[in-house]
Amino acid sequence: MPVQGAFTILANESDQGRRLDAVVAAHLPGCSRSLAVNLISNLEILVDNQAKKPGYRVKCGDKILGRIPAPVPTEYLPEPIHLQILYQDSHIVVINKQAGLVVHPAAGHRSGTLVNALLHHCPDLEGIGGEIRPGIVHRLDKDTSGTIVVAKNTAALENLAKQFKSRSVQKIYLALVYGELHADEGTIRLPIGRHPVHRKQMSTITRKGRSAETTWRVRERFQGITLLELTLKTGRTHQIRVHCATMGNPIVGDQVYRSRKRLKNAVSILSGESSSKVDALKAVPRQMLHAWRLGLTHPHTGEVMTFESPIPEDMVVLMEKLAGKEQSA
């Protein structure tokens, strides 16, 4: 975050013809292009005392006057929600998100979210977009557990966003799916977009699908159920859930992309072995999907880092029952 207060930039020959937002970002240490755009749009920056657009082409000799206002508190309130923090420094925080926790406040979820929790746990958050708030780079569904990285300042947010956009971030998930796959590994390449009928769902049958690729390999086989390790090459909404369902192997417990036929088949197979296995399968409260491993380059140090979230207890217990093992004391 750049130093708060007034500043003056006298454009030189090297600034000639460059965009105003780029010139401001280049001259002010810690100022990102997005912050410069916001300041210019909010009339916090003037050129020769005149309002300009962010795309204004600077001329040599232009006098750029501006002010960096102090970041204001976000409208969301900090809440002492339990978080398992895997890593934290002044630039990023990495969380093992528990199932049931919504990532970002939205209609119907104004509180009780990961953002509310981070406002409580991270008092060193810097201004992002003029607000003191955590920078959400990517999201996990409410009932998906696992690893998520959050930026603490604008520079970290923009750097991580570029990494996700360039697909240089490693994203590996674990999922229990219905059915027994014949192959040990494979790749799904099917575009994903809004379902043509059910608008809250995603589908591979869509008019405006975006390319999506998921690779998978079998980690463990149970009767009627398979544990898969899945790597996302892209990051579409509900990508793993949709691709697995399209393969004919929907994720266990997924109430949106479920298959009653697959559940019935699994129950039929397990009925001959143990009623406790059937009961455990029917009692699954959420999709058995876990963001296991996240690999990225630290936005400030450039260090390549990998974070892992242990498999959550509900998945462990289910797998132990499917394997016929007793839960550890």
- Give the CATH number of the domain where residue 155 resides: 3.30.2350.10
Are 179 and 284 part of one and the same domain? yes
pLDDT of residue 326: 52
The verdict on residue 227 lying in a domain is yes
Both 17 and 91 in a single domain? no
Residues 123, 88 share a domain: yes
One domain, residues 273 and 230: yes
Q: What residues of the chain score a pLDDT lower than 70? A: 1-4, 72-73, 107, 129-130, 199, 263, 271-274, 326-329
Q: Identify whether residues 210 and 230 lie together within a single domain.
A: yes
Q: Which domain holds residue 148?
A: 76-165
Distance of CA 254 to the CA centre of its chain: 19
327 belongs to a structural domain = no
Residue-level pLDDT at 258: 79
In a domain, 274, yes or no: yes
Residue 199 lies in a domain: yes
300 lies in some domain: no
Asked about 314 being catalytic, the answer comes back as no
Residues in Cβ contact with 105 at an 8 Å cutoff, skipping those fewer than 6 apart? 76, 111, 113, 115, 116
Instruction: Determine, yes or no, domain membership for 308.
Output: no
Asked if residue 86 is part of any domain, the answer here is yes
Q: What is the pLDDT of residue 274?
A: 67
Distance (Å, whole) CA 78 – CA 80? 7
pLDDT of residue 196: 80
What per-residue confidence (pLDDT) applies to 328?
45
**Tell me, what's the pLDDT at 174?**
98
Which among 62, 141, 143, 254 is annotated as catalytic?
141
Examine the domain organization and report whether 94 and 30 are in the same domain. no
The CATH number given to whatever domain includes residue 11 is 3.10.290.10
What's the pLDDT score for residue 329? Answer: 39
Q: Which two tokens stand for residue 86?
A: 């895997």
Looking at the 3D structure of the chain, how many domains does it have? 3
Q: Say what the pTM is.
A: 0.79
